Amino acid sequence: MVLDLTSLVSGKVNSLDFEYDLDTDSEESPLIPPDDVSFAPPVHVKGTVVNTAGYITLSFTAELKYSTHCARCLKDISGKFILTFNRTVANSGTLQDEDNDAYVIMKNGKLDIDRELVEELLLEFPSKLLCEEECAGLCPKCGKNLNFGPCDCPKKKEIDPRLAILQKLLEND
Ligand SMILES: [Zn+2]
Ligand SMILES: [Zn+2]
C-alpha cells in the first residue's frame, strides 16, 4: 500500500491510521518465504503515521501465518509471526544516506509501506523454529525422535575420574 501523507505533512491532520492486507504476490515487492517455509496469506497490517510538530513517525504491526518444520525434530509446525515496526519518516533528498535503517523515505508526500514491510518481514522472520522450546530433537546416530523417549544408542557419559579408577579395579578383579 502506498500512503498519501500530504494532509499529514501540511498539518491538516495529525495522524493517519491504516489497515490492509498485503498483496504478497505483488511484482515490486513479492513476499518469498525462506527455504522449507510457506506463508499463508493474508498478511494483515495495521498501523498509524503521526506528525508531532513536523517529526513524522510510522508504526505498525503485521501478522504473518506460516508453516514449516521443527528445526530439531522435523515435525510439521505452523504459527503466527508478529512484526512490530517503528521508524521515523524522512523526506526524500533530506538524508545523506537513504539506506539508513532508522528511516523510511517518503517521496512527494507518498510512502510505500509494502516495500519496507516485506523487507523487514524477511529480515526478522526467525531462521530456526522449534515445535517447542524443549524439543529434544532426533538422535544424530539412529534418527529416533527423542521426544518420544531415549533411543538405544550407547551414550557417552562423563565419568567421575575417581569412579573410573574404581571401575578399572572392578574390571580387573
Ligand atoms: Zn521439534
Ligand atoms: Zn540413537
Instruction: Give the Å distance between the CA of 159 and the centre of ligand 1.
Output: 29
- Residues lining ligand 2 (ion), CB within 5 A? 139, 141-142, 151, 153
Instruction: Give the Å distance between the CA of 156 and the centre of ligand 2.
Output: 12
116 lies in the same domain as 155: no
Ligand nearest to the CA of residue 146, numbered in listed order:
2
Domain count, the chain: 2
Q: Residue 159 — pLDDT band, cuts 50, 70, 90?
A: low
- What pLDDT digit, counting tens, does each position of 75-89 carry? 999 999 999 999 999
Residues 47, 61: contact at Cβ < 8 Å?
yes
102 lies in the same domain as 153: no
Share of the chain above pLDDT 90, in %: 72
Q: Which residues contact 96 (CB under 8 A, 6 or more apart)?
A: none
According to DSSP, the β-strands at 55-69 and 15-22 are: unpaired
Is residue 157 predicted with pLDDT exceeding 70? no
Instruction: Give the Å distance between the CA of 146 and the centre of ligand 2.
Output: 8
Instruction: Give the Å distance between the CA of 117 and the centre of ligand 1.
Output: 29
163 lies in the same domain as 119: no
Element (H, E) at 120: helix 113-124
78 lies in the same domain as 150: no
Is residue 117 predicted with pLDDT exceeding 90? yes
Q: Which domain holds residue 13?
A: 2-135
By mean pLDDT, which of 18-22, 31-35, 59-63, 158-162 is the weakest? 158-162
Ligand nearest to the CA of residue 71, numbered in listed order:
1
Residues 31, 22: contact at Cβ < 8 Å?
yes
Q: Residue 158 — pLDDT band, cuts 50, 70, 90?
A: low
Is residue 48 predicted with pLDDT exceeding 80? yes
State the cell numbers at 75: 515435525
**What was the pLDDT predicted at 162?**
73
Instruction: Give the Å distance between the CA of 73 and the centre of ligand 2.
Output: 13
Q: Residue 102 — pLDDT band, cuts 50, 70, 90?
A: confident
Residues 44, 81: contact at Cβ < 8 Å?
no
d(CA 23, CA 81): 17
Residue 106, judged by CB atoms within 10 A of its CB (0-12, 13-18, 19+), counts as buried
d(CA 150, CA 139): 9
26 lies in the same domain as 48: yes
Summarize the confidence of residues 59-67 as an average pLDDT.
97
53 lies in the same domain as 118: yes
Ligand nearest to the CA of residue 136, numbered in listed order:
1
Q: Residue 95 — pLDDT band, cuts 50, 70, 90?
A: confident
d(CA 64, CA 37): 12
Instruction: Give the Å distance between the CA of 148 and the centre of ligand 1.
Output: 11
Q: Residue 28 — pLDDT band, cuts 50, 70, 90?
A: confident
Q: Which residues contact 167 (CB under 8 A, 6 or more apart)?
A: 159
Ligand nearest to the CA of residue 150, numbered in listed order:
2
Helix (H, G, I), strand (E, B) or coil at 77: strand
